[in-house]
Structure 1
Amino acid sequence: MQIFVLLLAIAQGVSDSNILIGMEGSAQSFSTDEENLGMHLVIMHVNAEGGIHGRKIKVAAYPRGRENIVEQALENVRRLNEEDQVFLLFNFGGPAAVPIGEYAMQNDLPYMFPHTALLTVDGERHVFTSFPRYAGESRVMLRYLAESADARRIAVIHADNIYGDYFARRARELAGETGYTFVGSRSLGRYPEDALTEMHALRADKPDVVIMALYPAGAKKVVEAKAAMDWDIRLVSSGPLTDEQYLNVDGGAAEGTLGFCHYPDPNESDAPGIVEYRKLMARYFPDHAPNRYSLYGYVFGKLVVEGL
């Protein structure tokens, strides 16, 4: 412990009274903003309890918009490291994690738990990933659909970025060994007006299931399109997108959606850690409903605190 405290004392971003960490400010993204709220929940509680060895956690952050997300995120990371001199980065997930991971390794900057499975950084000491890689995760999902959910014809509607493209490519690659037929894919912008064109195109391919490799705004448009088309198709979601609140529309079109997620229901689970999360949400954010995105930030925020 004495060695660790000595290292903290000479580290960038650490003073006798504070530990400065870098995060994203408002990102105009429901998922990102909720994940960061979960981390702020941890920080608020830790600071209220006296901090870490007497040091309070402080946050430096810069907002970003909806355009050129990767470039904006990387520029903000450079500012946080080179101008603010933060001790570590937290989250900065999604496709931006790939160049940020490279920057963090080149600059000896701890990069903690980005919400992505795109990073492949075995043995790298400065990047701590949070998720199983998409390679394994997608294999498990597709095998289950083919072997246990009787899916014979699979289609994908996906985000028009590296995350979505990867899922579509994996569905195509694994078709032979897993025993289903990949019938097609369509991409969707992150904030689409609707998904009718894409869903009509997929319907023509006659799939049994449609996998949504999307963000909440796009996924809801897919469910709305399903309802408008009166299409009896099973939808599949993964990760925090599994939360019902992101998919529900009038008429019950989201009913029957199959979700794959690492986390239990944040509103119903009686697991001790989830109960504690709900208690702290009620204390610090009483008007904010629990969800799996903020739960993600809370869980990995707790891990950061344990490491400090």
Structure 2
Amino acid sequence: MAIRWSALILGGLLAAPFGPALAAAPDVVRELAGRVGPVVGQASACPDIAQGRVQTIVDKFREAIRQATTNDTERDLLTRTFNGYIAEGRSRTGTSQATCVAAERQLTELERSLGQPAAATPPAKADATIGAVSTGPVRGITDREIRFGMVLPFTGIRKETGRQMRQGIEAAFARANDSGGINGRTLRLVAADDGYDPNRTLAAMTQLYDKEQVFGFIGNIGTANAQVAIPYALERRALFFAPNSGAAVVRRDPPDRYVFNYRASYSEEAAAIVNYLIKLKRIPPKQIGVFQQDDAYGDDAFAGVAKAYRQLNISDAVARFTFPRATMEVDDAINKIKAHKPALKAIIMVATDRAAAKFIEKTRDAIPGLIYANVSAVGSTSLATELKLLGPRFTNGVIVTQGVPAVSGYSSLVLDYKNALAKYAPGEAPDYTSLEGYIAATILIQALKQTNPLDTERLVDTLESMRSLDLGLGTTLAFGRAEHQASHKIWGTALDETGTYQAIELE
């Protein structure tokens, strides 16, 4: 009965004109999300229920959200609330025959109450290409290829990070294609440029989804950019896999169904640095500061530092110094650091490569002995390149945490990566960002090979069932319904006088 009344109210909202009738609609829609979302989530987990029926209900509910809200912030909050209830429905109930029968019944009641015919699940048809059954054409998949999209900066301050991430993904794709692809289909990566400008991200996502007809997205660059890209992907139930971001926006709790991460978060990296500085280097908390880009990227890492302080029962406030996003305007932050009392002995850096290099250049002599510890998103290779131009004393001892093992190591995955790079990108040196792209793509490839017939819903189910995945990294990876981050491992590296990264122990 609750489902029937929810559907009737939802139908009434959709039929009502704008104006006083919708004045209280946000609260009504929020309440309905808690009733309709779990039903939709459970139905989407049942393989015998056509996903088009589920999508129709989702589309109607999102239309109700659109009509009930007056600004993007409120609309995004309600959408995420609804998505959270969908995820809850999927994780709370299994996909046994009994639960799926109940889900079918509730979905049918929703359809009837909304004034649409209950669609029967279409019969499966044979697909000789993959030797299984298919429910029809899938966006981004043809008899010959599977297309993935990637939004990255072709130019500007983050272009090298984007280039390296793309290179790693393409190397993994090429290696898989040479081995027969995905059940006979080749993998293809199509990239679009947003210049690291979130105001351009939506257009780039739209170009890939509408014009290029990509199956999903992999390796997108930028935290603020992800804040735009993720809602777009979620609304279209498109996979958003392994963005090059450790930010909280790509790590919701419960996780967004279509968003998966490979790497550890910025918060985890920052906490590892705090523990290293305080426990191993014996630096007083009052003499540790955070130099951060003034955006979600910087804020996430700063939150990780503050959390680590609380976990260590440190009451001291964290000294915080910011600079404008996507710039090298670091002078104001440097002046404040110089004036800070007591004098800082270590700085946790949440910046991009050129801004970080400029900061180190201007403080190396002004604050002698200062320890520099960067999170991985700085861009390891490009930071080293910038500092080597300045001389050995600027490189020596600069720390960078990594979400991947040392590229100089000899684990089986790193060796595979180096061989693939030499074959498909001759002349390119191993790089931490391209290794991250290679690892992320390798995980995705394994999931694609295990999903048959292939569509987004089945692929997500496959990913969520991956446990104790051993790629040869020295640590196992895993996903789950409540865990969409494969790795929580953080590796430590530090530059020597030659500008080469050496492994260091963080604990």
Query: Could you tell me how far apart the structure 2 residues matched to 1:59 and 1:8 are?
Result: 25
Moved more, 191-200 or 147-156: 191-200
Moved more, 233-242 or 174-183: 174-183
Aligned partner of 1:171 among 305, 308, 315 = 305
Deviation at residue 283 of structure 1 after TM alignment: 1.6
Partner of residue 102, structure 1: 231
Partner of residue 14, structure 1: 141
Aligned partner of 1:252 among 386, 393, 396 = 393
Query: Could you tell me how far apart the structure 1 residues matched to 2:206 and 2:318 are?
Result: 42
3-state SS in 1 of match to 2:394: coil
Moved more, 145-154 or 284-293: 145-154
Deviation at residue 52 of structure 1 after TM alignment: 1.8
Mark the CA change 1:283 to 1:159 in structure 2 (over 3 Å): closer, same or farther: same
Mark the CA change 1:156 to 1:25 in structure 2 (over 3 Å): closer, same or farther: closer
Partner of residue 120, structure 1: 251
Q: CA RMSD in A?
A: 2.7
Partner of residue 198, structure 2: 70
Partner of residue 335, structure 2: 200
Query: Could you tell me how far apart the structure 1 residues matched to 2:268 and 2:330 are?
Result: 28
Moved more, 172-181 or 22-31: 172-181
Deviation at residue 284 of structure 1 after TM alignment: 1.8
Mark the CA change 1:256 to 1:4 in structure 2 (over 3 Å): closer, same or farther: farther
8 Å CA contact 1:242–1:259 kept in 2: the answer is no
Moved more, 289-298 or 219-228: 219-228
Q: Deviations over 1:172-228 (max 9, x none)?
A: 465455337445222234554563442232122111210111111211112211235
3-state SS in 1 of match to 2:333: helix
8 Å CA contact 1:9–1:16 kept in 2: the answer is no
3-state SS in 1 of match to 2:372: strand
Pairing of 1:1-308 with structure 2 (within 5 A): 6-7=133-134, 10-24=137-151, 26-28=153-155, 29=158, 30-66=160-196, 69-95=197-223, 96-117=225-246, 118=248, 119-121=250-252, 122-152=254-284, 153-172=287-306, 174-175=308-309, 177-178=311-312, 179=314, 181-182=316-317, 184-189=319-324, 192-193=327-328, 195-205=330-340, 206-227=343-364, 229=366, 231-239=368-376, 241=378, 243=380, 246-247=383-384, 248-249=387-388, 250-266=391-407, 268-308=408-448
Mark the CA change 1:295 to 1:7 in structure 2 (over 3 Å): closer, same or farther: farther
8 Å CA contact 1:154–1:210 kept in 2: the answer is yes
3-state SS in 1 of match to 2:188: strand
Q: Deviations over 1:80-119 (max 9, x none)?
A: 2233221110121322223322222221101111122222
Query: Could you tell me how far apart the structure 2 residues matched to 1:184 and 1:132 are?
Result: 24
Greater RCO, 1 or 2 (C-alpha within 8 Å, sep 6+): 1
Q: Where do 5+ consecutive residues of structure 1 fail to align? A: none
Query: Could you tell me how far apart the structure 1 residues matched to 2:175 and 2:416 are?
Result: 11
Moved more, 280-289 or 163-172: 163-172
8 Å CA contact 2:349–2:373 kept in 1: the answer is yes
3-state SS in 1 of match to 2:298: helix
3-state SS in 1 of match to 2:257: coil
Query: Could you tell me how far apart the structure 2 residues matched to 1:149 and 1:48 are?
Result: 48
Query: Could you tell me how far apart the structure 2 residues matched to 1:289 and 1:98 are?
Result: 31
Q: Deviations over 1:243-293 (max 9, x none)?
A: 366233314223222332232221x20111111111121122222111101
Query: Could you tell me how far apart the structure 2 residues matched to 1:150 and 1:34 are?
Result: 36
Alignment-mate amino acid for residue 172 of structure 2 = V
Q: With structure 2 as the length reference, what TM-score do the two structures score?
A: 0.55
Alignment-mate amino acid for residue 113 of structure 1 = A
The structure that has the greater radius of gyration is: 2
3-state SS in 2 of match to 1:219: helix
What is the total number of aligned residue pairs between the two structures?
304
Q: Where do 5+ consecutive residues of structure 2 fail to align? A: 1-126, 449-507
